[in-house]
Structure 1
Amino acid sequence: MTTKRMIAASEKMAILNEGMQPGAVVTELCRKHNIGSSTYYKWKKEAVQGMKEAVTGPSKEVIALKQENARLKKLVAEEALLIDRLRELNETLSRGKNDGRRLSQ
């Protein structure tokens, strides 16, 4: 069973660059660097997508996801404040119940 090895981004870029050279054979390149051809093509697809986003800007989907993320972060912050307020109120009310009364033994 093979284990995944982490390959640095700079190494991936070097492998992709080598694969784009005239006369490069992907199967030989993959064998040389001990990676699968599917891995090479996945990296190539991701690189092309990254270049596309660099030129055209983020897609509508990415923009929508960022907006949704911001909305959810705000909601979580509001809920956290509410929880803190409720805890404080609970502590205050708990102290008030015990004031003036003796605890049973």
Structure 2
Amino acid sequence: MRKSKFSEEQIIAILAAQERGMATAEVCRCHGVSSATFYKWKARFGGLDVSDARRLKTLEIENARLKKLLADSMLDVSILKDLLGKN
């Protein structure tokens, strides 16, 4: 997945500009983003402040790490069951 050229702080600032009354099309044009990208950001970051966005990112990273650990342990269990002949 391609890394965004905007940080979470910048995205939240862009969303805040629209919430203050600036037209969505004008906000998109000023910052060089499509309206689809804007609404995707709004769905993900709408109503968050900067500290909440940082916390969300750390939780997503931790969640991915835990999912990988679970998958690895389930694979180990499956291999051990196959070795012992228990299906």
TM tier relative to shorter chain: 0.5 to 0.7
- TM-score normalised by length of structure 1: 0.45
Once the two structures are superposed, the pairs formed by residues 14-53 of structure 1 within 5 Å of their partners are 14-22=13-21, 24-48=22-46
Report percent identity of matched pairs.
24
The answer for unaligned runs of 5 or more in structure 1 is: 55-64, 83-105
Counterparts of 1:1-105 in structure 2, within 5 Å, are 6-22=5-21, 24-48=22-46, 69=67, 71-77=70-76
Counterpart position of 2:84: none
Matched residue type, 1:36? S
Contact kept, 8 Å, 2:18 with 2:24, in 1: the verdict is yes
Q: Residue by residue, what CA displacement relative to the aligned partner does 1:83-102 show, whole Å, maximum 9, x if unpaired? A: xxxxxxxxxxxxxxxxxxxx
Q: After the TM superposition, which segments of 4 or more aligned residues of structure 1 sit over 4 Å from their partners?
A: 77-80
Name the TM-score, length of structure 2 as normaliser.
0.53
C-alpha spacing 1:77/1:47, structure 2 compared with 1 (3 Å): same
CA RMSD of aligned residues (A): 3.6
Note the C-alpha offset of 1:74.
1.3
| Number of equivalenced pairs | 64
**Which structure would you say has the larger Rg?**
1
Which residue identity does 1:43 align to in structure 2?
A: W
Q: Which AA in structure 2 matches 1:16?
A: L
Change over 3 Å in CA distance of 1:13–1:50 after alignment to 2:
closer
**CA–CA distance in 2 between the matches of 1:11 and 1:43?**
11
